[in-house]
Copies of this chain bind each other. A is one copy, B any other.
Amino acid sequence: MLEFLKQRSQKASLPPGSAVYVGKERAHVVEVRILDYDRDTYLDSSELNLDEVKRLHDSSTTTWLNIDGLHEVSVVEDIGKMFGLHPLTIEDIVNATQRPKVDIFDDYVYLVVKMPFYDEEEKTVEMEQVSFVLMEHILITFQEKKGDVFDGVRKRVSTNKGRIRKMGGDYLTYALLDAIIDGYFGVLERVGEYVETLELELVVDPRPATLHKIHELKREMILLRKSVWPLREVVSSLQRDEIPFVTDSVAPFFKDLYDHVIQVLDIVETFRDIVSGMLDIYLSSISNKMNEVMKVLTIFAAIFIPLTLVAGIYGMNFNPEKSPYNMPELNWVYGYPFALGLMVVVAGAMLYYFKKKKWF
């Protein structure tokens, strides 16, 4: 959260529409990959020849331009200018702190969504920003870093599997969004496994660290929900036929996608409820533990304090010689065994009493 705010404030004093990269992945080189296809033709190229791209754009084939890496802002700006993108769109593409949304312009539709990753070591969910610019015959996608989420779609295009080669950029958009939402399911599976681990820990050995983990998880769910909720709005508007460049034949697919997003939201909500329940269990387990501690103390005190009293009584110094009433036990033959026996009887009675109370 704080990190996001720090990144965000880097550009606070800049004029609106300034294209400044805001994000944290700057390691690798910017990579561009072009796919151009229709039913019959197929082209895969990693070289950004602007004239060539322009020619592909004008042709009736579907062109998919994918850019991995946003930190070299000039690349994005060049592409943006070539396709006539609004300065605010370019600013949004390179500002990786966007909220998922749809912006409709005259010549294109701009979508931005969040793609989740599960960091297995930190047990946290990381987010990457993906931008879509959908125009007539062309789809441009921008990712923060090179990843393999889109590889499945790429393979389907190259192998001409399914209907993807028969349809246009809107279907391609759908296919890519579908891959991203499948990613949410994958991340939630990891989260679910972690939840099960935590639940076990809660039963076996709940400690303050467990509470900390539960709270971390709760926060993760809040953040995840904050990224899925606007995604729902994005997909909902795609499904409602309100978006240009989305043809009727693709609408059922977006409706299907919408159902998936709702399922993701349902699961996130369920995890939130589960995590809240874990908090209750943790708190009541602390109380139960205290109960146990109190019982041990009470049992010890209640058994040994009476015994100590018995010992104390026979430690009194009343003078038996001055009176036959003064502690005659001290002179009994079996005085000592009697005292010890008395102690055993008292302790036994106590134990029986607590046993009956089901204290142990």
Contacts and interface: CB of A to CB of B under 8 A. Distances in A.
Given A189-B5, A290-B291, A317-B315, A300 B305 contact: yes
B312 A259 contact: no
A1 interface: yes
A189 B267 CA distance: 26
B288 A208 contact: yes
A338 B111 CA distance: 85
Contact of A252 (B18, B86, B271, B335): B86
Instruction: Quickly give the copy total for this chain.
Output: 5
B298 A300 contact: yes
Interface in A272-316: 273-274, 277, 279-291, 293-298, 300-302, 304-309, 311-316
A170 to B, nearest CB: 13
A273 B219 contact: yes
Q: Is the interface of A mostly helix, strand, loop or mixed?
A: helix
A290 B298 CA distance: 11
A182 interface: yes
Contact of A306 (B208, B215, B271, B304): B304
A317 to B, nearest CB: 5
Given A208-B288, A287-B286, A297 B294 contact: yes
B305 A305 contact: yes
Interface residues of A, number: 123
Contacts of A274: 1, 219
Given A9-B185, A290-B291, A294-B297, A267 B317 contact: no
Interface of A: 1-2, 4-6, 8-9, 12-13, 15-18, 86, 88, 91-92, 97-99, 101, 103, 105, 152, 156, 161-164, 174-175, 178, 182-183, 185-186, 188-189, 192-193, 195-196, 203, 208, 211-212, 215, 218-219, 222-223, 226, 252-253, 255-256, 259, 262-263, 266-267, 269-271, 273-274, 277, 279-291, 293-298, 300-302, 304-309, 311-320, 322-323, 325-327, 329-337, 339-340, 343, 359
Given A318-B336, A323-B334, 14 more contacts: A5-B192, A16-B162, A17-B253, A211-B281, A219-B277, A293-B295, A305-B305, A314-B316, A315-B315, A315-B317, A316-B339, A318-B335, A323-B336, A325-B335
19 contacts: A1-B267, A1-B270, A12-B182, A88-B253, A97-B263, A103-B255, A105-B252, A208-B285, A289-B291, A293-B298, A294-B297, A297-B302, A301-B301, A305-B308, A313-B343, A319-B330, A322-B330, A325-B335, A326-B336
